Chain A
Amino acid sequence: MSFTLENKVTAGFSVALLLTLIISAVSWRSNDQQSREADWVQHTQEVLARLEALLSSITDGETGQRGFIITGDETYLEPYQTYRVKADGEYQALLRLTANHPLQHARLTNLQPLLEARASEITKNIELRRQGFEVAAQAIRSGHGKALHDQIRYRIGEIEATERDLLMHREIDAKASAKLSRLLIVLRSLLAVGVIAVALVIIHRDIAGRNQVKEALVNANAQLQVATKQAQHADRIKSAFLASMSHELRTPLNSIIGFSGILFQELAGPLNTEQKKQLGMVRDSSRHLLALVNDILDISKIEANQLKVSPIPFPLTESIHKVVTLIMPLVEQKGLALHTQIAPDLGELVADPRRVEQILINVLNNAVKFTESGRITLSAERVADISPPGAAAPTPGVRLQVSDTGRGIRPEDITELFQPFHQVENGLTRSHDGTGLGLAISHRLLALMGGQIYAESTHGKGSVFTLMLPLNGRPLL
């Protein structure tokens, strides 16, 4: 399965996009977490601050009490006055802040009675001093207040330690989250770069591949053009040669046929019997030579792929009559009968009339040649389809048939019939038998015209030659 460039690019970018989305989602989560962890760190720091403040305000109360007990001066009670409210405030805040931590919350709750006890102790001592120094000092020397204070300090210390521990853990977590976040950023960037690099490489290779193909195509094209020019050149040379040959051969033939014909017709003077006889032979031979020259020129053209046809519309019936007129003398000479069956709707054919006539004469000549007695029948009719069975579209055309009551063709000869230079052994009349090229030329001509020719025969009984021609023949070059 091969992937097109578009497929690869689409797949590549889709994967990259998907991965980016995944990493972005993870990144978002991480960021969110980081934010929450920062909040918790702040939270813990607040708890510690308030614990500090609570202890400090309790100590203020302590200081106030001490100052007053020592001096008996009411002004020293100032810190004591404010401490209760302040401590209370801090205490409430702490309760709120530790709502999520059952242990810390329980510790704070348990602290409350101690704080109350301390507060009432301080109040009591202050009252005692107002009564007298000695009685207050005695209460203090009992150590009860100090014990309470130490307990409170110890418990607050406990809470603080736990909070510091929490703070440390939360700070570690926050740092880890930040680290993860940074890692994800790096990962995403690497991924993006990686994917783009891979995409570039793929695209580059594809383009390079295409360029190679293009180059190969350009080269092949250039070679084709050179080859075509060479072929065309060779073609022109062959064509010029054949045209020249045709002209050169026909010129002396013109004189030979012409003058022997003039003499034979006694236009240049009367002839005696012997002279007439001999000139008759010269005349016959010269015509035979012309037929040979024509056939050889045709077969040369066929071999050189230079044989071309020139189709025009022409009335087929007229051509048939022309050909019949030409063959009639031979028919009568041999005492045969020639019968024609021409369909009235034959009409016009688009083909090369000269070549059609050439083929018909060739086939008729053969029929006469190989028939000693009986009749030759020439039929012509239109058919709806001349193409062989299995062809794509029907081709309308005409079918011409020449059948004879002659000696027929042996099965082993039928296959060779349309090959050039093949001649069926005829014994006696070899010399004027034609060239052995006629059927080969006819076969090739019909192929060029888009038609066909074939023969059927029963040895000893006769033969039937069938020609098919398309109505609208175009030369197949």
Chain B
Amino acid sequence: MNETVLLIEDNAENRYLTTFLLEKSGYSVMAAPDGPHGLTLAQKQPVDLVLLDIQLPGMDGYAVARALRANPLTRDLSIVAVTSYAMAGDREAILAAGCDGYLEKPIDPETFVADIAGFLQQKSSRGGP
């Protein structure tokens, strides 16, 4: 394992929770509190999956996803959105912005890691970078 997950999440407690779960399952986690920081990290470090909160202050998750896809360095990363799923049409918007899938908040601590593994599996079976 030892895949690296980039977590972009503004809420400190959520960051702590998600990081704990992932690290306990053997993942390396990089955390960024906002979009711009996350984009910088994504370009500097090798990352296997980006876990992206949609409801970010300032540059929102859709913009971050689009930016990641626009950049040749980060174009082929696996991007999973985390969303409160407030409105119908969110799903379409998420996929349209370039994400590979989404998880709903609040996350289920019992299935979360399996879901992440599933996304990574999809990615590698498609043929990663």
Complex partner residue of B17 from A247, A258, A309, A352, CB under 8 angstroms: A258
Cα separation A456 to B108 with both chains bound (whole Å): 35
- Interface contacts (Cβ under 8 Å), in number, total 69
A253 and B110 alpha carbons, distance in the complex (Å): 15
Pair A255/B87 contact, Cβ less than 8 Å: no
> Among the listed stretches B35-43, B68-76, B88-96, B114-122, which one makes contact with chain A, having 4 or more residues with CB under 8 Å of it?
B88-96
Per-residue interface assignment for chain B, residues 103 to 119, with 1 indicating a CB less than 8 Å from any chain A CB and 0 otherwise: 00111111000000000
Q: Does B124 contact A (CB under 8 A)?
A: no
Q: What is the interface residue range for chain B against chain A?
A: 20 to 34
As a 0/1 sequence over residues 79 to 100 of chain B, the CB contacts with chain A under 8 angstroms (1 = contact) are 0000011111111100000000
Q: Which residues of chain B are near A250, meaning CB under 8 Å?
A: 84, 105-106
Q: Quote the shortest CB–CB distance from A276 to chain B (angstroms).
A: 14
Q: How far is the CB of A256 from chain B (nearest CB, A)?
A: 8
User: Is the pair B86, A242 in contact by a Cβ cutoff of 8 Å?
Assistant: yes
Whether A308 touches B14, Cβ cut-off 8 Å, given contacts A254-B107, A262-B20, A265-B109, is no
Most-contacted residue by chain A among B85, B87, B109, B110 (CB, 10 A): B109
- With contacts A247-B86, A352-B88 taken as known, whether A265 is within 8 angstroms of B110 at the C-beta atoms is yes
Minimum Cβ distance to chain B for residue A280 (Å): 12
Give the distance in Å from the alpha carbon of A56 to the alpha carbon of B11 in the complex: 146
B59 at the interface (CB under 8 A from A): no
The reply to whether B106 and A257 contact each other, CB–CB distance below 8 Å, is yes
A253 to B84, CA, bound (A): 11
Given contacts A262-B20, A262-B21, A267-B20, contact A254 B106 (CB under 8 A): yes
Q: How far is the CA of A255 from the CA of B20 in the complex (A)?
A: 12
B108 contacts which chain A residues (CB < 8 A)? Answer: 257, 261
> Which residues of B have CB within 8 Å of A246?
84-86
Q: Which of A253, A256, A257, A309 contacts B88 (CB 8 A)?
A: A309
Contacting pair A254 B105 (CB below 8 A): yes
Q: Which residues of B contact A268 (CB under 8 A)?
A: 20
Given contacts A246-B85, A255-B17, A308-B88, 15 further A-B contacts (CB under 8 A): A246-B86, A250-B105, A254-B107, A255-B13, A258-B14, A258-B107, A258-B109, A262-B21, A267-B20, A267-B21, A310-B88, A310-B92, A312-B92, A352-B88, A354-B91
Query: A residues near B, CB below 8 A?
Result: 239, 242-243, 246-247, 250-251, 253-259, 261-262, 265, 267-268, 290, 308-310, 312, 352, 354, 475
Enumerate the 9 nearest inter-chain pairs by beta-carbon distance, A residue then B residue, closest first: A261-B109, A254-B106, A308-B88, A310-B88, A243-B86, A246-B86, A258-B17, A253-B106, A247-B84
